[in-house]
Amino acid sequence: MRTVAFAVSCLLVLGFYGYVFAQLYREHKRFKGLEKRLREHLYATTPEREAKSCPSKVARLPRVPEHIRKETLIHVGVAIGGLAGLFAEIGFLSQMIDSFH
């Protein structure tokens, strides 16, 4: 029974870390693309264009599409599940070490 619980908790923890690293890699690639576009935009922008723009425009936050909200909720759920698996793994290993004493 303990070996099954240990294997399941290990899979949960490894899955959580795999998911986290995959998300970090995806975000890294996305920010690299944004950085490139930002450099191109800043290069194309000149001080004369900035002076001509109207400073009285009110900045508004963009609306977040529904699919991004759902994706964010899924990410939060996976993160919470991974952390729960991590804590379960720590508790299980602690009990296993205590049983050897």
pLDDT digit string (tens) for 35-83?
A: 888 777 777 775 655 555 555 555 566 676 788 788 888 888 888 888 8
The per-residue pLDDT for 50 is: 52
CB 5 within 8 A of CB 91: no
What value does the mean pLDDT take over residues 20-44?
A: 83
How far is residue 36's CA from residue 33's CA, in Å, rounded to a whole number?
5
State if pTM tops 0.85.
Answer: no
Dist. CA 97–CA 65, nearest whole Å: 48
Q: What pLDDT is recorded for position 81?
A: 85
Residue that wins the pLDDT comparison between 92 and 51: 92
Q: What is the mean pLDDT of the chain?
A: 78
Would you give the end-to-end CA distance of the chain in angstroms?
19
Q: Average pLDDT for residues 83-91, to the nearest whole number?
A: 85
Percent of the chain with pLDDT strictly greater than 70: 82
The predicted pLDDT at position 54 comes to 56
Nearest one of 2, 23, 20 to 88, comparing CA atoms = 2
pLDDT at 58: 56
Residue 15 makes CB contacts below 8 A (sequence gap 6+) with: 82, 85
Mapped onto helix, strand or coil, the DSSP state of residue 5 is: helix
